[in-house]
Every structure is written in structure tokens, then in C-alpha cells.
Amino acid sequence: MPVITYRQALNDTLGEELARDPNVLLMGEEIGVFQGSYRVTEGLLQEFGPKRVVDAPIAEEGFVGLATGAAMLGLRPVVEIMTINFILVAVDQIVNHASKIHYMFGGQVRVPLVVRTPSGGIGQLAATHSQSFENWFAYCPGLKVVAPSTPYDAKGLLRSAIRDDDPVIFIESLALYDTKGDVPDGEDYTVPIGVAEVKREGTDVTVVSYSRMTVITMQVAQRLEGEGISVEVVDLRTLRPLDRSTIVNSIKKTNRAVVISEDWRSYGIGAEVAATIQEEAFDYLDAPVQRVAGVEAPLPYAARLSQASKPGAPHLIEAIHNVLEGTRKQ
């Protein structure tokens, strides 16, 4: 099985879906001539032409609205937003229109729209370029929200998203584009939306994560194995609809839970997962659920402060030790 990057998995999938379905088109800022800010759309303009790979102006509300209308009329637009921070300009089109049209039209119209955008921070991008807003969209009925952590899942979930008849917010991670993993060559596989995966079996504690935090969790689990601590890793993969049964079944097995996410702690994805565990697996818990998230402040530009603001391996290790001791971090 070939080993490719997360970026290449996305690029391959976009090319394959453009070739498979003439109704698929790409739209976004600098995705054509420039080949994408992160080179995800490299080579696609040359192969499919400007009617299928459309360079949009710097007007997110405008081209997301255009893509929503195109989806209503039978096309399958895949929109790239340069960063989730810029998606705020298009929130009205996504939340008040794309997510609600199927419901408000009595099921007569579907909106097969995909909005791809990277989330989270990498390097020194400061406060307005390093945010994680996936919980905003996971909050909204009518949207599906996915956040793959591996090249395999990125390819399978993007293929599922493009073929889905509902709007899908496809969350990538700036820090994952160069990561590598096994991806089947020439196989038309899909990863189902709404299904989490146990990435690593364990017996002592369950860590629930998604996107870049799953990569960190897997590294921590490998490290703690040397200390005799067995960590089970649940990768959500989809944030809405949330696969609650996989989470709960894992807690029933390990009796302890840590949730790690890159967003802010209050009202985030981790809070929803913790509430799910409390409601559906409380009797199986031997210790309170621990949460690991970013510092609740705008991300600083200064390198050391920026790094200190983000959740990472040391924070996760501390939380795992705390939950194994049955203590709550103060």
C-alpha cells in the first residue's frame, strides 16, 4: 500500500472526483493558477480547465453563496476557504442558507456542497489566523462536519463528503498536510460520515480526540506504553453527527476518559464529548473526565507564548496521569 501525504490524499481525491462526476467543480481563492495556498489543488486547473477549477475573488460570502445556489441546481461544488478564520465572512451563507434549505423547502431541494478549510494554528500566525471554529458548525443542525487525522481518512471522508447530498464542512489541519500514511492505490473506498474509529486498543484509559490531536494522542499512547499505561485512542473523525456509541463503548471498557481538542475549552467539542460520557456512561467511570484544550485567550504571536497556548503532549500526559490517580486537575 503506497505511503502518501495528507495533502496528496486530498489532491488525488479531488482529481478523481472531478474525473468521475462532471457535476463536481472546485471554487476558491488562488486554487487554480496559483494551485492553492497549500498546494492541495496542484495540477487540477491544467487537467480540468477553468470551468471546473474556478479562481474566486476575495469575497467568501459571495462565492459560498454562489456555490450554494449551484448545489441547489444539481452541481456538486467543493469550495476551498483559505483558512477557517476567513470562513466567518461566509457564516450567513452556510448557517442561514446552506444548512437550512433542505428543511425549509420541505425536502424538495438538496444542497450537495462541500466547504474545505484548514483549522488550528501552526507556527507564528497570531490571533486571527490560528483559531479553531469547527464547534461553531458542529453546533448547527443541517450541516455535517468532518475532521480527519490521517491521509487514509482524509481521502475516504472527502470522497464521502463530495458524494453526500447534504452540506459538509470538511476540516483539515495546517499541521497535517505533510504527514504521511498508507492509502490504497486505485481503490474507490469511502470512510462513512458519522462513524468514529478506535485507532489504538487500550485498557487503562480512553483518550477521545480528532484531527491533529489524534496524531499527538497516538504519539503519547506509544510513549506511555513504556510506563505500563495502556491508552485506547478514539478518533472522532466526524464531529456532526457525533458517534456517541463508539465513545461510550470505549469508556465502558477502560472506565476512565480524557478528551483533547485544539479549540478553547469552554463550549467546545471536548465539552460535548464530556457531557456525552457523563450522560451515557457515568456509572462506568472510576474518575472524573479530564479535558485538555487551548488556553482561553487570543493566540499570541511570540513563539514561546504561542507554543504555550496550544494543547500538546505534556498537557495530555498530565491529564492521563491525573485521571489514573482519580484526581481532578485544579
- List the catalytic residue out of 102, 129, 232, 272: 129
Please, are residues 166 and 112 in contact by the beta-carbon 8 Å criterion? yes
Measured in degrees and rounded to the nearest 5, phi and psi for residue 27 equal -150, 135
d(CA 273, CA 268) in angstroms, rounded, equals 9
Catalytic residue flag (residue 60): yes
State how far the alpha carbon of 86 is from the alpha carbons of 160, 177, 212, 235, in Å: 24, 19, 20, 26
1 exposure class (CB count in 10 Å sphere: 0-12, 13-18, 19+): exposed
Catalytic entry in 60, 134, 172, 262? 60
Whether the link from the prior residue into 2 is cis, omega within 30° of 0, is no
CB count in 10 Å sphere of residue 239? 27
Residues involved in catalysis: 60, 129
